[in-house]
Amino acid sequence: MEQDKIRNVAIIAHVDHGKTTLVDELFKHSGMFRDNEKVTERLMDSGDLERERGITITAKNGSYEYQDYWINIIDTPGHADFGGQVERVLRMADGALLLVDAQEGPMPQTYFVLKKALENHLPVIVVINKIDKPAARCEWVVDQVFDLFVKLNAPDDVLDFPVVYASAKEGYAIKDHTDPVENGGNMDIISQMIVDHTPAPSGSPDAPLQMQVGTIDYSPYLGRLGIGKVVNGTLSINQPVVVARRDGSIKPVRISKIYRFSSDEKISTETATTGEIVAVAGMDDVTVGVTFTDPDDPRPLPLIDIDPPTISMNFIPNDSPFAGKEGKFVTSRHIEERLKRETLADVALQYEALTDAVGFRVSGRGELHLSILIEKMRREDYELQVTRPRVILIEKDGKTLEPYEELTVDVDEQYQGPVIEKLGKLKGQMEEMTTSNGMARLKFKIPTRGLLGYRSQFMTDTKGMGMMSYVFAEYGPWAGDITNRVSGVLVVKEPCTSVAYALFNLQDRGKLFVGAGFPMYQGQIIGEHCRSSDLVVNPAKGKKLTNMRASGSDESVVLTPPVDMTLEDCIAYINDDELVEVTPKSIRLRKKSGVRIKG
């Protein structure tokens, strides 16, 4: 493949601004699929969790042909919790497509991903997406994007960025948002812009081999695959190479298979030359950041710098009375093996053994980052317990510093009062406020601790109509004590099976998390008390029977549907003396063993 005909471009954006949908349309309009071929929606979101949640969790690679050019696409996550993926895959790219919603404009993750692209000195093409929205405001969004470039101290040549307007959902792109959409439209304008404004990959095919692994894939036949861009040299099957590892050591390996990408599929090839993005097999323990290089003249590429984790949780073996009944992998050894395997592919994740108990302290970029890992583990038949998330503090110049987030909130003006009040109690400081068409955009700087568990409260206060997103800002001074939950909980007195009559009588005491007919154990949390104290209850207490019966004396029991708590809700809800028990079939809340209930 000719080097000057290759284009490597990363698609970056805030979460849910349409990256994966845009990639779908670029593939479809390239003619890579037959007219009668059924193409999966959001083709690049291949994981079950990605399809269920509608977000990209891991970076993906794909390619398509435009005229006589080969365009390699890197689809990146938009959520800041998976920012470690963005940082490393941008090393493969020679340019970036920045997608911005035509109504929302730049959001916190837009700032984050653009900052990373500019740090890698990538030329940026701005795509104003979702212009078919009734409330689209394209000119305002372009002005906001320009201000964002200025805020990030972008060089003058980058400030003159090209702009294209698109509706990925409808499958068209136009040069000006006032232009008509002719013949149903297509995506050729974006492809042409990639060719015109993204440089061909640099490097020399005659230089010693250099290829740094940016992401990891897995093949059931070949094991782990390292994906990266050939920066210099040429790679061939059965070619002896050495791998420069993260610890500085050198290991000889032999390349057994090389794959190119065609749409979202891997195509076997004999060789790969400078500028190509390929997947290679041959090293069982390949990790992110290692460099495949020439054995006679090894030249490791600089290691990838990753932003430090801000949140940690303890993963401990399940010791509840129901331990081992639903899961297959239940011991601390099983948990450690799984965590070790995850850190090979996710360099933003760290873990260490606890010194005062059995289990592991797992650190990541945010609640979502860790909850996705827990959800993956339970789907793989793991059984474990996790503690309340805690922020990672640092000491500097004798002062304790904690992480702060830059929070952006979009709400209807009628709900902004409760939001401002609640965020004020959580030590949030409002830095900016704008209103337009009955909507308010509020920007806060708030300790990460204040956001733990706040999302459900936010959705309640805004009647489910608000939007909040945040990105790590900096480490700042300790903000003082923050109370996230003021209510106590309803705790089961003894092992039993819940009955409707007992739950009916407990409804006045608070909100229930479970229904009738569920087995329970002592110390399990089944609801939220309406007061600040905890309450020990008997959810199996039946109606006393007598030999005196009268017509109409037995009333039917009508239960209010229990609160449906997701894994993220449970993790955010618990206090320091409580745990979330996670199994393949159940998610339960419980008090820690030996905790005395405070009534």
Q: Residues marked as binding for GTP? A: 16-21, 129-132
Distance from C-alpha of 165 to C-alpha of 134, rounded to nearest angstrom: 15
Supply angle C-alpha 264, 266, 270, rounded to 5. Answer: 150
Distance from C-alpha of 444 to C-alpha of 471, rounded to nearest angstrom: 11
Contact 50, 81 (CB under 8 A): no
Q: For the chain, how far is it from start to end, CA to CA, in angstroms?
A: 73
The torsion angles phi and psi of 141, rounded to 5 degrees, stand at: -65, -40
10 Å Cβ neighbour count for 494? 12
Contact 7, 70 (CB under 8 A): yes
Residues 6+ apart with CB under 8 A from 245: 251, 287, 290
State the amino acid at position 441 in one-letter form: R
Distance from C-alpha of 577 to C-alpha of 566, rounded to nearest angstrom: 20
Binding residues: 16-21, 129-132
Distance from C-alpha of 176 to C-alpha of 173, rounded to nearest angstrom: 9
Residues 6+ apart with CB under 8 A from 65: 30, 31, 32, 71
DSSP classification of residue 527: E
Does an H or E element contain 329, and which? none
The torsion angles phi and psi of 286, rounded to 5 degrees, stand at: -60, 140
The torsion angles phi and psi of 130, rounded to 5 degrees, stand at: 65, 40
Residues 6+ apart with CB under 8 A from 579: 316, 385, 386, 387, 589, 590, 591, 592
Distance from C-alpha of 520 to C-alpha of 527, rounded to nearest angstrom: 13
Distance from C-alpha of 42 to C-alpha of 21, rounded to nearest angstrom: 6
Contact 226, 275 (CB under 8 A): no
Distance from C-alpha of 346 to C-alpha of 338, rounded to nearest angstrom: 12
Residues 6+ apart with CB under 8 A from 416: 440, 442
Residues 6+ apart with CB under 8 A from 178: none
DSSP for 92-118 reads G-SEEEEEEETTT-S-HHHHHHHHHHH
Q: Which of 183, 292, 181 is nearest to 243 (CA)?
A: 292
Distance from C-alpha of 322 to C-alpha of 382, rounded to nearest angstrom: 14
- Torsion sign (Cα): 536, 540, 546, 549: positive
Number of H helices, E strands in the chain: 14, 35
